[in-house]
Every structure is written in C-alpha cells, then in structure tokens.
Amino acid sequence: MGENRRLGRAIWAPVGAAALSGLVIGGLARLLMRGVALAVGGSTGLSLVGTVAILVAFVVLALPAAVTATARPAIMHAGRWVTAALTGLMAARTGLGDAKTIVLADDGQLTPITMLIVAFAAIVVAHGRLAQHLTRRFRALPEAPAEALRTPDPRPV
C-alpha cells in the first residue's frame, strides 16, 4: 500500500506542480502581454480562447522542470533550463510578432516596453524554478491518515 502511495506522489506531484506553476506564470505572462499591447497602443482585449491557450502552453512547458525536480543536480538543472529555453522561445516568438510596432514605438513608449520585456525574462527563468519548488513541496507533504479523510458523523455525541 505504501509503495502505491509513493508511486502516486512521484507521478502526481510533478503533474500538479506543472499545472499550478503553468497557471501562475501563464497568467502573469498574459498580463504582461496586455501591458505590451497597452504600451504600444494596440488592441488590449483578452480573448478567452487566447488566454486558455496560453495557460495550457505554460502548463505543458513546465513539465520538463517538474519531472526532473528530484533528480540528480545535473538532470534537475537541465530540466529547468529546458523549461526556460522553451518558455523563452515561445515568449520571444510571440513578442516578435509585434516587433514592427515595438521598433516604431515613440521614445515615451520605450521605457515601459523595456520594463515589460525584462519582466518577461524574469518570469521565463522563474517558470522552471517554481515548477521544481512546487514538485518538491508536493512530494514532501505528509500523508493524511485514513481517519482524517473520513466524513465526520453528523450525529451529536
């Protein structure tokens, strides 16, 4: 029975961590994308389909870091950098879609645009670290005793 629980944690901890870190970092990325659109005077609408696609992409991109969170240090770092590289590539590719608008931006727009690009870089690096941190935390959660999982008896004692 204990072996099944350990195996379950080994599987579900990285999946849960990838989901949570992907939702958090993907949500931040979506807000930063809106910030760039505001800074260049573009369309600032957020579509539900676009937001869901971004969140799903960030969840999937967190998997290499989450799965390698408890591996040997070299493998753990490689998993984190795979997540950072893929996330960075996706973010840069999305950002470069508006490169012409950014290049043609007024001087007053460059400072906020630059700050938003630096923020993107920060969340790209944080993405893998957060996924690995959450995986280790989820795997370290104490096991709940069976009595704590039972529904309490509603009758008075």
pLDDT digits (tens, 9 = 90+) for 131-146: 999 999 998 887 655 5
User: Does residue 122 carry a pLDDT above 80?
Assistant: yes
Which residue is it, tokens 């931040």? 28
Q: How far apart are the first and last CA of the chain?
A: 33
> For 29-74, how does the pLDDT look when each residue is reduced to its tens digit (9 = 90+)?
888 888 887 887 777 677 889 889 999 999 999 999 999 999 999 9
Q: Measure the CA dihedral 100/104/107/109, to 10°.
A: -50
Q: What is the pLDDT of residue 15?
A: 94
Which residue is it, tokens 């508006």? 98
**How is residue 150 annotated by DSSP?**
S
Q: What is the pLDDT of residue 66?
A: 95
Higher pLDDT, 115 or 141: 115
Q: What angle do CA 84, 88, 89 make, to 5 degrees?
A: 120
Q: What is the pLDDT of residue 32?
A: 86
**Average of per-residue pLDDT values in the chain:** 83
| Phi, psi values for residue 155, rounded to 5° | -75, 140
Q: What is the pLDDT of residue 155?
A: 67
Q: 39-65: b or e for each residue (b if 16 or more CB lie within 10 Å)?
A: bbeeeeeeeeeeeeebbebbbebbbbb
